[in-house]
Amino acid sequence: MVYSTPEQLSFHPVAGHTVRADFEGGTLSSDFGILLLRGIDRQIGLTARLAAAIHDTRHPSSIDHPLRDLLAQRISHIASGSADGNDANSLRRDPLFTLGVERPPLAPEQDLARAPTFSRLAHSVDRKDLYRLTQALGAHFVARYPEPPAAIVLDLDHTDDPTHGQQELAFYNHYYKNYCSLPLLIFEGLSGALVMACLRPGTRPIGAATAMSRPRR
């Protein structure tokens, strides 16, 4: 019986290292999609844009993980279904997550951030940072157009995000019959593309928010 060598997949290099994928074993990871997410981010530059919107108050001499790396790491965790901040402790040495933030894998000095780092980051972001992040998302959406469109249609709607525990803004919502937050989602009306999401309490919206949107199931 003749065995053929499996075809390899090639990706953009990281820190002078070639990146290829095959099925011959070695150091394993279950999250291959992180490389695809990294490739998309290299094209659209979203994490770099978001990092530039946050004022980093840390002293330069104490920074091991730049803001862009922290955002790329956290986004990759959420995208792979590991949304709990504590998951960072078990995934910080995963070779594909390491590649996802442009670091060479299997090098202890390149380990990613731990959960406490993300906790400190979450508590350091203030209202001005949030405002600049919103501007960055808006600018990123507008940059998708090769030329100014004749009109932009925005569709505002809210949906439930079930919570488990004592998360901030979590309340019981009778319509959805669970404890949740109720983020406001903003879509581009013609393409259906998500522009941004605004976190809101799980209680029923009142006033103008009720007039603009209705619950979706």
Higher pLDDT, 178 or 107: 178
What digits encode the pLDDT tens for the residues 72-117?
Answer: 999 999 998 888 888 999 999 898 999 999 998 878 788 999 999 9
Asked if residue 171 lies in contact with residue 202, where contact means CB atoms within 8 angstroms, the answer is yes
What pLDDT is recorded for position 67? 95
C-alpha span between 185 and 104 (Å, rounded): 36
Asked if residue 184 lies in contact with residue 129, where contact means CB atoms within 8 angstroms, the answer is no
What pLDDT is recorded for position 120? 92
What digits encode the pLDDT tens for the residues 32-56?
Answer: 889 899 999 999 999 999 999 999 9
What pLDDT is recorded for position 77? 92
* pLDDT exceeds 90 at position 167: no
- What does residue 139 show for φ and ψ, rounded to 5 degrees? -65, -35
Higher pLDDT, 28 or 77: 77
> What residue segments make up the domains of the chain, in order of their start?
9-124, 147-212
What digits encode the pLDDT tens for the residues 127-143?
Answer: 999 999 999 998 999 88
* pLDDT exceeds 70 at position 65: yes
C-alpha span between 4 and 18 (Å, rounded): 22
Cα atoms in the 13 Å half-sphere on the side-chain side of 113: 25
* pLDDT exceeds 90 at position 30: no
% of the chain residues with pLDDT over 70: 88
C-alpha span between 73 and 113 (Å, rounded): 8
What is the value of pTM for the model shown?
0.75
% of the chain residues with pLDDT over 90: 46
Tokens of 160: 């439930």
C-alpha span between 71 and 152 (Å, rounded): 29
Average pLDDT, the chain: 86
Paired residues of 79 in beta bridges: none
What digits encode the pLDDT tens for the residues 2-13?
Answer: 445 557 788 889
Alpha-helix runs per DSSP H in 45-148: 46-53, 67-79, 87-91, 95-100, 115-124, 127-142
